[in-house]
Amino acid sequence: MDNDLFVLVFENDQPFKHIDGSEWRDENGPIIMETYTKFATKDGVDDLKNRFGNRYGKCRIAKLVFMDEGEN
């Protein structure tokens, strides 16, 4: 893969509000959202961040760095 890849890291695995409006937090903590690598461009994750808003708490964009020498 020659292009830089980016991912969204959210503060919480589950939404902060139930359908009935009551608030809660999942105790498992932060999560990296799943996406296809073809959409993991800076513009692509900016768009996803805007669409998710703060539904899963605070959100940050991270640059993905591969640590192995794999051929895939």
Q: Mind listing the pLDDT tens digit for each residue in 32-71?
A: 988 899 999 999 999 999 998 888 888 999 999 988 877 6
Predicted pLDDT of residue 51 = 92
Amino acid at 29: G
pTM to 2 decimals? 0.72
**Residue 14 above 90 pLDDT?**
no
Q: What average pLDDT does the segment 8-33 reach? A: 76
**Residue 17 above 70 pLDDT?**
no
Reported as type and span, the H/E element at residue 41 is: none
DSSP letter (8 states) at residue 20: T
Q: What is the largest CA-CA distance in the chain?
A: 48
Sequence-separated (6 or more) residues with CB below 8 Å from residue 66: 1
Instruction: Provide the residue ranges of all domains of the chain, joining segments of one domain with +.
Output: 11-35+49-67
